[in-house]
Every structure is written in structure tokens, then in C-alpha cells.
Amino acid sequence: MKYIVQYRPSSIKIFVVANASESLILTTVTWMQQEPDNPEHHRQRSEFIRKLVQRRLGQESVKTRYDHLIPRTIVQFWHDLRQLPHDVEECVASWSCWETSGFTHRLFDEYAAEAFIGGSLGTRHECAFKRCYHPAMQADYFRLCYLLVEGGFYVDADDVCVGTDIGWLFEDGRLKLQPLCYDIASSAMVNPSVFLCADARDPSWIFYFNNNPLIASRGHPIIERALIQATSLLELAGEDVLPEIQGTTGPGNLSKSIFDLGASSGVDVESDLVVLRDWDSFAVSRWPLSHRGDARNWRLSNQKRFARKSE
């Protein structure tokens, strides 16, 4: 099965091809001009997400489009599997061991990810992936491409699985994602037990969604929107420009996509997603790891050209 993307200034059409003589329009997305991303827009986005994550939902019915299960596939990325650090390999093993419980585990490197994107989404998206100048940016972009095409459970390679039951995460096709909150005043993350309380807020808090993990059915509208936006931002950047990672392909891009769908487009995003309020019970980000102190850490390499050891 292959996706073919037609791009025009006003719209993007995504076709899923069953065979050479038959194609079906999966969806048509109207493309609008990029909305201004200024401090007021950031404040509105944070407040929108705050209300979204603090709302306690009852046992509501799932939309028919999400009745089908998410593929029981765990997907990860490390840019160079020939030089996979031993400590990261241990983290990956905590996820690959789920294969004994009937799950599929797929670990991609830069070349396998590029081949997947080119083969399933075409030249435009393959070129956008090549413009991702850092491995973290490649991972950000690849996860959107993979989930749009195949669906599944994407988790970062430096997370360690500590959960004993992940099966329920696949039970319906809604997007499952982790909320975060950053306190500008203290330059520290706010504990979920604090910021998830109803009406908890502070002028210095910024609410947003992490793009790790991402668990969704194939063709999910939020993933689709985030991929469209990331692709456009990569294309709009000049050839010699290294766009900021977080806002171009990472959590900032995902959070803006959710806000734009819910606040600007009037889409009922609440019924499209599940807020993972206890993600720490499933996985923890191991610290320290060998790559966190060098250029492989995107926080140290944001908007800097990444030099691979083979270059």
C-alpha cells in the first residue's frame, strides 16, 4: 500500500493506492497561510492546552472512525545503528522485549527512515526529511510520516519502558500523547501532579504537548496537520537556514497543530485525543546517557549543523 501526495498552494490531497489501476482519496486538507506565531499566539495556545489537559472527561463514546485498533507496532529511531550507544541499546531493549507478548518492534536509522518516507509519501516529504539537519529533527519528522501512513506507537530510543501493561494504549485509534508544563520563572518543568489539577495555573507556566510518545491510528487528523505544518516550515526556510527544532518539527509544532485545529478550525480535538496523565508509569527518560553531553543532544545543537562521525 502506498500514499501519493499531491500538493498545491491551496490544498494537499493524500491518495492511498491499493494497486496500479485503483486509487482512493483518503483525505483533502485545505492549506491556509501560516498564522502568526507571536507571544499572544503562544499565550492563547498555552491556555487552550491548559483547559484541554485539566478537563476531566467522563466515559464518553469513541468516534466511529476510531473504533479500529491501533497496529500493535512499537516504532523507534536512532540515526546511526552502526554506532548505537550501549546505554541507548539497553533502553531500546526494554521495548523490543514486548515482541514476546505479540507486539512488533521496528527500529529505523536515517537511511531506513528516508527510504520509508520516499516510498510511502514521495519526493516532497523525502526532501523535507533531508532538510532535517539534526538526528532529533529527523526523528521528529519521521514519526509523523510513519504514523500517518501506518499508525502505531512511536517512542524515543532513550526512554525506558517501566510499565507492565501497554495493551490498552492500542485499544482505539485516538491519538495518545503526554502533556507538559514549563515554568519560565524557575526554568524548570512543573510536576504533572501539580499542573493537571483543575484550574491550576501561573502566569509563568507554559502548557504544551510532548511529541513523545505518539500513539495513533493511520491517517489521524492531528498527525496529518502536524506533518503538513512541519513540511511547509522546512520548505519555507532558506537553503542556508537551520530552523529551530522544537517549533519546526517537535513539541511546538505538534502543540500549534492541535491549537490551530481546535481553536481556529473549530475541530473537536478533545474527542480526537487521549491525554496521558500518568505517562511516567509507562516509561521514564533515562538520565544521564552518553549522547546527552555532546552534539547528539539537540538542546546543545539547536540551529547548528550536525557533523556525523563519518563526515
DSSP-based three-state secondary structure for 218: coil
- pLDDT bucket at 56, cuts 50 / 70 / 90: confident
pLDDT of residue 294: 86
3-state secondary structure the chain: CEEEEEEECCEEEEEEEEECCEEEEEEEEECCCCCCCCHHHHHHHHHHHHHHHHCCCCCCCCCHHHCCCCCCEEEEECCCHHHCCHHHHHHHHHHHHHHHHCCEEEEECHHHHHHHHHHHCCHHHHHHHHCCCCHHHHHHHHHHHHHHHCCEEECCCCEEECCCCCHHHHCCCCEEECEEEEECCCCEECCHHHHCCCCCCCCCEEEEECCCCEEECCCCHHHHHHHHHHHHHHHHCCCCCCCCHHHHCCHHHHHHHHHHHHHHCCCCHHHHEEECCCHHHCEEECCCCHHHHCCCCHHHHCCCCCCCCCC
Does position 23 have pLDDT exceeding 80, yes or no?
no
Bridge partner list, 48: none
- Write the pLDDT tens digit of every residue in 28-39: 333 334 455 788
Closest CA to 299 of 241, 244, 255, 256: 244
**Which of these ranges, 13-17, 106-110, 118-122, 225-229, has the smallest mean pLDDT?**
13-17
Of 42, 41, 55, 58, residue with least CA distance to 200: 55
Distance CA 208, CA 78 (A): 25
Read off the C-alpha cell for 192: 504533572
Say what the pLDDT of residue 17 is: 42
| Site of grid cell 489501476 | 21
Mean pLDDT estimate for the chain: 87
pTM score, whole prediction: 0.86
